[in-house]
Amino acid sequence: MHRLTLTYSPPLLRQAVAGFWWRVIGLRFLVALAVVVAALVKLVLDGDRSWLVGVLASAMVMGIAFMAALYVVHHRNALSRLRAMGEPQATLEASAESLSLASGAGTAMLPWSAVAEVWQLRSCWLLLLSRSQFLTLPLADMTPEAAAFIVERVRASGGRVR
């Protein structure tokens, strides 16, 4: 079993949310949005006022709103959980059967099968429980042995590591 004390901070959570945001949005979404904006600008400059301009403008606004909302919602949730912790520390216990996190906000014990993916970012790892829910593990507090153990357990239970 591996037992670690993890320390959280607003800058770490901003990096985690930004990493999540980038992996969800990705380059393809930004390129698609840029194509929509370019087409909209060309049509407007050409004097077009058809329904297509309205559709493209709506797609542009929705795309920008989605990107902003994705970041803002996850950032607010992360900071809210940080405040609920009281002291910004959590205890991680990783055993062969499960992963447990305990802090001032409560305790969660998850079987490894609950972790669908591990996203390895520069300053932290995101353990994805679903497409929109993740746990943040700061790398500054993680030993190489614990990191290797987490990767091994996630893969053994069918999860992916990226």
- Please name the fold of domain 2-7+89-161: PH-domain like (2.30.29)
105 class by beta-carbon count within 10 Å (0-12 exposed, 13-18 middle, 19+ buried): middle
Quote the pLDDT of residue 158: 95
Quote the pLDDT of residue 107: 94
Please name which of 27, 10, 12 lies closest in space to residue 139, comparing C-alpha atoms: 12
Q: What is the secondary structure of 81-109 as a DSSP string?
A: HHHHHSSSEEEEEE-SSEEEEEETTEEEE
Quote the pLDDT of residue 65: 98
Place of tokens 């901070």: 9
Tens digit of pLDDT for each residue in 113-159? Answer: 999 999 999 999 999 999 999 999 999 999 999 999 999 999 999 99
Quote the pLDDT of residue 75: 97
How far apart (Å, rounded) are the C-alpha atoms in residues 97 and 74? 29
Domain ranges across the chain: 2-7+89-161, 10-84
Confidence of residue 1 (pLDDT cuts 50, 70, 90): very high
Mean pLDDT score, 58-71: 98
Q: What 8-state DSSP symbol labels residue 158?
A: T
